[in-house]
Amino acid sequence: MNDQTQALLSIDGLTVRFGGLTAVDDLSFQVLPGRIHALIGPNGAGKSTIFNCISRYYDPTGGAISFAGADVTRHRAADMAALGVARTFQNLELFNDLTVEENVLLGTYSYGARGLARLLRRPVAANREFAHHLLERVGLIDFLDARAGGLDFGRQKMLELARALAIKPRLLLLDEPAAGLRNREIDKLDGILTDLASREGVTVLLVEHVMQLVMSISDRITVMSFGHKIAEGPPAEIRSDARVIEAYLGKGNLDE
């Protein structure tokens, strides 16, 4: 059973510079296991840069990233996947010419696996069963043989979520999962993420602008502006924080 007081993810003094631009400046926060932690802020605050550092697509200029008590600051992206860190992206990263089932099956194999085309032709029965379970969960079981590129946007978002879940993550990084979704789709996403955290102990860190979702599901929220952390706390505190209201140009934006 997870120790709920020991951070699964720790960001300590993270700094990222691109030439003369400081995208993230001495940022620190922790994400506890089995919790949903939101990272919010106006466009350009540095949120996706942080995700890219955690995912190991970017090397930070300074500071450290720890996962499950180990320093992973210089790990490779494939190492993070092997440790149980999965991610979705702002811009969908699907294999549009593959079927819905094949996209999720790819997620059940390690990034270093060989002969993926052969594995897709004759997938391990347990992997196929698990892929079908995930597709049932996100409402796509009736689209197994559909090409990913032919799905509408909302279903594509759900497919990317299912593929991320296929590695059985300990930490799920979601980059704007509700962007472009309709209200009923946001409600469905709310239920899926809440269930993942509360019933299965999956830790979720999400970047999101849809405050309806953030305020509904988050246990804790870290707020950024221009690369700095300006506030952190549970949703009720964040909603009434004067610094956050100013950053979002009015309290109404937090109640959307």
CATH number of 40's domain: 3.40.50.300
According to the model, what pLDDT value does residue 250 have? 58
126-162 residue pLDDT tens: 888 999 999 999 999 999 999 999 999 999 999 999 9
Domain that holds residue 125: 94-168
Tell me the residue type at 249: L
Q: What is the pLDDT of residues 96-123, one digit of tens each?
A: 999 999 999 988 875 444 555 556 666 6
Supply the pLDDT for residue 1: 40
Looking at the fold, whether 64 and 103 belong to one and the same domain comes out as no
pLDDT number for residue 2 = 47
Q: Which of 118, 152, 168 corresponds to the end of one domain?
A: 168
Clarify whether residues 78 and 175 are in a common domain. yes
| Mean pLDDT, 10 residues at a time, the chain of 256 residues | 75 95 96 97 91 94 96 92 90 90 83 53 78 96 96 94 94 94 94 96 96 95 94 94 78 60
pLDDT on residue 247: 78
Do 36 and 195 meet the contact criterion of CB atoms below 8 Å apart?
A: no
Residues 69, 52, single domain; the answer is: yes
Domain count, the chain: 2
Question: 99 with 121: CB under 8 angstroms?
Answer: no
Backbone angles phi, psi at 105, to 5 degrees: -60, -35
Same domain, 102 and 53: no
In a domain, 126, yes or no: yes
pLDDT at 126: 83
| Burial class of 74 by CB neighbour count within 10 A (0 to 12, 13 to 18, 19+) | exposed
pTM of the model: 0.89
Q: Tell whether 89 is covered by a domain.
A: no
> 75 with 142, same domain?
no
Residues 77, 25 share a domain: yes
Same domain, 185 and 252: yes
Structure confidence at residue 118 (pLDDT): 58
Question: How far is C-alpha 204 from the chain's CA centre?
Answer: 6
